[in-house]
Structure formats: structure tokens, C-alpha cells
Structure 1
Amino acid sequence: MIRNTTRYFLAALLLVPMLTLSEVSLAAPDTCSPLLSHSFPRLQDEVPQNLCQYQGKVILVVNTASFCGFTSQYEGLEQLYAKYKDKGLVVLGFPSNDFGQQEPGSNKEIADFCKNTYDVKFPMFAKSVVSGNNPNPLFKMLIAKTGTSPKWNFYKYLIDRNGNVVKAYGSITKPTSNSLVSEIEKLLEEKR
């Protein structure tokens, strides 16, 4: 019985037409923008996360701090993320203690603060340096491409779906400001 089943299986395989290479779609996978070709530990558990996973999305990169006059912008960032994430926006938060020592806590303390105070759901990364002589590699590239470094906490960089830096926004620009939201909406409508 097993031999007959095997014989029928092999016969069926022979009847299946073989595909040639020209018939198989050889579409190359999307390549990752050099700007996004970095990994950073996730804030909550320090598991490394490759930013290439956000290729094809409109990205708003923000350096954050828990004890700043602009800290309430977490609320606007979360609203922005919730409203546009299904259309292709992602907000990436990078806590930093670079300005006024306003992010002194550990990664766990920062994660707890973000969750408990503002219910932050957008991706957050471990505390790092975003300015000065040795910024993290993403901010180093953002600074080089825009010619401007963060002047304070909640400085924002907007990146299009192709991984190109579009614009930098100062800390005073709220996440829900008309200028930022209209630029995000414009980028979300563009195809890759």
C-alpha cells in the first residue's frame, strides 16, 4: 500500500509542469535607505530593533525628555501616530539627556513614565545621545542631511517613504501644528 501511494505521488509530481526562471517573479526586495540602516535597542526591553522595518513609511523622528517644558508634546505625538499610523506614518521617539539633564532616568523609568503618563504606543528607543560631538548614528545622519542639530528636546525630523529627510522642525512646533500635519498628509499621499 505504501509503495502504491509513493508511486502515485511520484507520478503526480512528474505531471506538474516545471517553472523556468523566466516564469518566476524575481522581484528584488526593497532595499533599505542608508538613513534607516541602523539598529537601536527598544526602550521597554532593550531588544535591538532595525529601523529598516519602517522603510516605506513616513517617519517622524523626535528626541524626547520626561522633565521638559515640551514633555506634554507626547500627547500630540501619540494623537498624530494614532490618527495616521494606518495610512503609513510612524513616530520614532529617542529619549535623550542632552538638554538640561531633563531625561535622567533609566530606560525602564522612561518607559514607565511614557506608558503611565501619556499611554505612548509609538516606537520608543533606549536613551541615547542626539547632539554634540557623538550623536547616535541616525541623528548624526539627520544632522548632516538637514544641516541642523536638535536645539532642545522634542526637535523633529520628517522623513519620506523613500528614506529621504524632508524637513526639520524645532521644539516649538507642536505635533498637531498645521504646518507639520499638512506636510505629513502630503507625504502620506505620495507613492514610493
Structure 2
Amino acid sequence: MVGACWLVSSDGKGPVGGSGSRRVSGEAAVPASLGPYQRFSRAARSTHATNADQIARRIADVDVKSTRLLSKAYGGAPAAVATYANAGLSEIFVLTVVRAVSPRPFTPYQNAAQLGLAKPAREVVTVGEVACLVHNQSTTAGKRPGPETVTVESCQRTGEGLTVQIRSVTGDIHSSPERIAALVDKAWSGLS
């Protein structure tokens, strides 16, 4: 179970899949890697830190429990949650997959100009088929916000009975909706 993300059966009663990207019970398991990012357990163990195994087990347990909660939230739909990281653990994110359609991300309307801001505090940024919910640091109207002023909360692609989302992003990648959207598309392509 260490390092594995489980695909929950359609009856919502428990895991039926394992690690890797092999097919399980007609469903596709989450990929072992997404570009330069590997499942957290493998990335953590590659650091050879003294507590790497303990941290890997803890994250794997969180992923399994989160998978069950995600499936339950969607009425028992098959789901998977997997944490990924780069080799140095400086960039980490959580991939969620559920065999169901989800609504697009939403944030209340803000009139940035009336507030004297270059951009609203929160907005949905669309990159191709992916919608990203982002938080913008306050930048005075008339000034150009730098890329470091953007924090991606989540990016999601949904349709055709599938939702793929990346959330809980840390590290430099959190400022790039385009990079995260590309990872969502990569995961989507392997699952659809």
C-alpha cells in the first residue's frame, strides 16, 4: 500500500487498484509520474532522508483516505487521489480523479477597477480545456502584476464522465496556471 494510490470500486466499498498506470477493473489508475513529477513516496525515498519512509507512508495513507472521501462526495463514483513531487520535493501537488462530471470552478464577481486593483483578488483563468481558480495578490491598478503575484488554488478539467484536478500546489509551480493546466491535460489524456 505504501506509495500506491487506490482506485475505488464503483460501489464505493473499497480499493480495487494499485500503483502504476495499469488498467484496473475497466478504469485507469493514476499515472506513476506526470512529467518531472513522481508519486510522492518515490520522490521522498529518492532524497534518502532518514525519515523518508515514514513521511511516504503518512502521505500514502492520506491519499487512500482522501480517495474514499472523494468517492463518497460523488455518490460512490470511482475516484483516486495521489500526491506528486519533483525530485527535490520543492514542488508538490495533489492530483484528484473522479469518474463523474463536476461544475466549473466559481468565484464571486469582483470589479477590480472599482477597488483600484489591476486584477480581482480571485478569478477563474482558462487555459485550453482547463479552468484554474487563482488568487491574485493586490496590485494597484495601472501597475503590471508579476507572475509571483499569482497563486493557483486548483486547476480542473471536466467532461465525458471524468474530472481531473490538481490542487494543494506548493513551490514555484504554484504561480503558473499554464504549467499546472498542462499537467492536468497530461493526466486527462492518460485517463480518458
TM-score by length of structure 2 reads 0.26
Question: Per residue, is there more strand in 1 or in 2?
Answer: 2
- Whichever of the two has the greater Rg, that structure is 1
**RCO higher in 1 or 2 (8 Å CA, sep ≥ 6)?**
1
